[in-house]
Amino acid sequence: MPILGIDLGTTNSLVSYWNNEKSVIIPNVFGENLTPSVVSVDDSGQIFIGKIAKERLITHPDMTASVFKRNMGSKKLFKLGNKEFLPEELSSLIIRSLKQDAESYLGQSVEEAIISVPAYFNDTQRKATKRAGELAGLKIERLINEPTAAAIAYGLYERESNSKFLVFDLGGGTFDVSILELYKNIMEVRAVAGDNYLGGEDFTNIIMSLFLEHNNLKLEDIEYKTAAYIKEQSEMAKIKFSTAKEVSIKCKIKDKLLDYTLKIDDYERDCQSLISKLRRPIERALSDAKIKASEIDSIVLVGGATKLPIIRTFVSKLFGRIPSVNINPDEAVALGAGIQAAMKERNRHLKEIVLTDVCPYTLGTDISIRKPDGYYEPGHFCPIIERNTVIPVSKSERLYTIQDNQEKINIEILQGESRLSKNNILLGEINIDVPPSPAGEQAIDVRYTYDINGILEVEVTVLSNGLKKRAIIEKNPGYMSKDEIEKRFQELSSIKIHPREKEENKLIMAKGERLYEESTGKIRELLDYNLQVFEDILNRQDDHEIEEAAKKLKMIFAQIEQMKEF
């Protein structure tokens, strides 16, 4: 039974597996490699994932959620109709849909997957991702950092020892730069930097602004659906720029056809401010890793937005050479996760490599510091595992009682870089009893262990009597016990994802509804009539009749779309 590799992206998600000595992307039910990371629910409580949900983002924004990966690990609730979901729960629905696609493609059930996460994800975010996989009914024993996965996909682990790589990942809404180093057979993440609010979408927004400006329109004056429609057209135009020098956008708004032709030079001029924002994270990553740009052996482009010529030119100029692009940049992470899955299965065809990553933040605890007048000042941060330490790592710190007959020591488990505990993030706490004795006579050892999956375990031992307490850290204390996960798993399992074989028809309906909303007059009537007929046919459940009707409806859609373009 294969182990799946999953790229759970902010914008798009993919799934891969190892076959015939290589990693292969598994297409979804529509035959596409990318499944939009969008979840939608309809009035009857049915859930839609991917392409259909993306259509519904425009028609039913209140019932649809996207870009929830940004909130992974937080308790932010996304309201979809009358249901509420945590980011990890929405993610679990995406994973479940990928799992179903994989199972129907492979013709067998799948139980395990490796999921990729951004290198900067902290403990809480990693654990939430792991839970998302478990809620989808998969065993998740290992997570892989996205840049590491991309480097693996490029076969960089077969390079000579001591090679250094820079992974430049520009996705839909995020920008990540990572510097990796291969030493013997160890791949190490040396530094990560980025911008969580910079991505392909910003490059779409430039086109949208130009279109609005050209047509004397203001964003605040147009309604949501119209704006969403213009944005969709702008994204299509942007994608065309990866091969064309000139694109045109035509949008019918309130029965008026608005037209705009944009030349690549004008577009790229307006993109300069975004381009300059890319520079700083690159410089930071290089300086954190203490590596000069000229020492980088390979530059790898990842993320759909790196298909933009302006990005490629920028990277080539900055480093004075052409980056590697022989793998589709939006598939690299998933392909790497698939290779990693094969390594986990100890597939003999692959050279075994050890992946080591760094712990992206400093982890420590709160202590009191003795002032010259003998007073103990609380609130000081004592680092135990320093930022950028290679993991797995286990480190211990000895702490002493500060009061006579002190009965307890409270260990705050903190993450952050500030000298003062209050500025760092509280991940959890351990309270341990110590035998009452004079101040300073009782000691505890606090051991932090950060494993390869980025999961933190803290163990506290009282030296005098050997009493131990352990905690696997949870950011929200007591949040989701094993039983609760099981219960929520059952609840989520009972949610009906629309039957896969009917997806195609549901997509037709969703698309028809969107076209309906975008049109007026006669076209609207035509659509209304045909959609009603189609719905009746669907209800009759005669597969042959449905197939014929679907074909006809698709032709009608194509004609309408052509008319919109003239």
Binding site for ligand ADP (CB under 6 A): 9-12, 171-174, 199-201, 235, 238-239, 242, 303-305, 307-308, 330
Catalytic option among 55, 88, 169, 518: 169
Confirm whether 69 is a catalytic residue: yes
CA distances from 73 to 39, 426, 467 (A): 18, 14, 32
Nearest-angstrom CA–CA distance, 434 and 467: 9
- Residue placing its CB nearer to ligand ADP in the complex, 126 or 164: 126
Q: Of 54-62, 124-132, 164-172, 211-219, which segment contacts Mg ion by CB under 5 A?
A: 164-172
Nearest distance in Å: CB 539, ligand ADP: 36
- Residue placing its CB nearer to ligand ADP in the complex, 173 or 336: 173
CA distances from 61 to 39, 123, 224, 556 (A): 11, 31, 9, 26
Nearest-angstrom CA–CA distance, 527 and 128: 43
Q: Of 8-16, 96-104, 128-136, 275-283, which segment contacts Mg ion by CB under 5 A?
A: 8-16
147: partner contacted, choices Mg ion, ligand ADP, none (Cβ within 5-8 A by kind): none
512: partner contacted, choices Mg ion, ligand ADP, none (Cβ within 5-8 A by kind): none
Confirm whether 169 is a catalytic residue: yes
11: partner contacted, choices ligand ADP, Mg ion, none (Cβ within 5-8 A by kind): ligand ADP
Q: Contacting Mg ion (CB under 5 A), which of 5, 171, 364, 512?
A: 171
Nearest distance in Å: CB 222, ligand ADP: 21
Nearest distance in Å: CB 202, ligand ADP: 9
Among 136, 505, 123, 155, smallest CA distance to 350 is for: 155
Q: Contacting Mg ion (CB under 5 A), which of 2, 5, 9, 200?
A: 9
Contact indicator for 231, 207 with CB cutoff of 8 Å: no
Nearest distance in Å: CB 151, ligand ADP: 16
193: its two tokens = 């930097």
Contact indicator for 392, 451 with CB cutoff of 8 Å: yes
173 sits near Mg ion (criterion: CB under 5 A): no
Nearest distance in Å: CB 126, ligand ADP: 17
Nearest distance in Å: CB 239, ligand ADP: 4
Nearest distance in Å: CB 9, ligand ADP: 2
Adjacent-strand bridge partners of 7: 14, 116
Nearest distance in Å: CB 38, ligand ADP: 11
Among 474, 472, 457, 364, smallest CA distance to 417 is for: 364
436: its two tokens = 């009452």
Confirm whether 146 is a catalytic residue: yes
Q: How many residues does the chain have?
A: 566
Q: Of 171-179, 422-430, 493-501, 521-529, which segment contacts Mg ion by CB under 5 A?
A: 171-179
Nearest-angstrom CA–CA distance, 81 and 79: 6
For 552, other C-beta atoms within 10 Å of its C-beta total 13
Residue type at position 4: L
Catalytic option among 51, 54, 69, 127: 69
- Residue placing its CB nearer to ligand ADP in the complex, 10 or 163: 10
Q: Of 67-75, 166-174, 380-388, 411-419, which segment contacts Mg ion by CB under 5 A?
A: 166-174
Residue type at position 383: P
- Residue placing its CB nearer to Mg ion in the complex, 304 or 416: 304
| Residue 107 half-sphere exposure toward CB, CA atoms < 13 A | 0
- Residue placing its CB nearer to ligand ADP in the complex, 302 or 537: 302
Nearest-angstrom CA–CA distance, 300 and 302: 6
DSSP run (H or E) holding 218: none
Nearest distance in Å: CB 14, Mg ion: 9
- Residue placing its CB nearer to Mg ion in the complex, 146 or 232: 146
Nearest-angstrom CA–CA distance, 230 and 295: 44
DSSP run (H or E) holding 299: strand 298-302
CA distances from 538 to 289, 508, 513, 546, 557 (A): 59, 11, 16, 6, 18
Contact indicator for 424, 380 with CB cutoff of 8 Å: no
| Residue 219 half-sphere exposure toward CB, CA atoms < 13 A | 10
DSSP secondary structure code for residue 476 in this structure:
S
Nearest-angstrom CA–CA distance, 100 and 108: 10
- Residue placing its CB nearer to ligand ADP in the complex, 99 or 307: 307
Adjacent-strand bridge partners of 303: none
Catalytic option among 88, 123, 134, 146: 146
308: partner contacted, choices Mg ion, ligand ADP, none (Cβ within 5-8 A by kind): ligand ADP
Q: What's the farthest any 2 CA atoms get from each other in the chain?
A: 90
Chain residues in the site for Mg ion (CB under 5 A): 9, 171
Active site residues: 7, 69, 146, 169
